Homo-oligomer: A and B are copies of this chain.
Amino acid sequence: MPDLILMKAEDVAENEVTIDGAEKVTIRWLISKDDGAPNFSMRMFDISRGGHSPLHSHSWEHEVYIIEGEGMLIFEGEKNTFSSGDFIFVPGGKKHSFINTGEGRMRFLCLVPND
């Protein structure tokens, strides 16, 4: 039986995203299957100034909330700007990339189904 988890997101281990096309991106797995989460996982991404996530697609969806900073989402070739306080639903099967276009750090939550 999973137990309560309550902690600062910044206290979770931060790892560089090393997959092709990612630049200056780190990930923290806040809540995942390993914690007993049965359905979906919460990750926190930081993208430094000038960085971006890979332009890619996959079958699963993203549910995103922008905590800090500003950026541009490339979605199926179209450019969409966003900033802190925005939320984003990226359906599965669509090509997307998050780009930090601001002067400082861009931080967001990105939740995905477990399987």
- Taking beta carbons and an 8 Å cutoff, which residues of A are in contact with B? 1-10, 30-31, 35-40, 42, 61, 63, 65, 67, 73, 75-76, 80, 82, 85-92, 94, 109, 111, 113
Contact = CB atoms under 8 A, between A and B. Distances in A.
Given A4-B94, A30-B65, 7 more contacts: A4-B80, A8-B86, A10-B85, A31-B63, A35-B89, A42-B111, A65-B65
- Number of this chain's copies in the assembly equals 2
Contacts of A5: 87-89
Contacts of A10: 85
Contacts of A67: 67
A111 to B, nearest CB: 6
Contact of A42 (B3, B8, B65, B90): B65
Nearest to A88: B6
Nearest to A91: B2
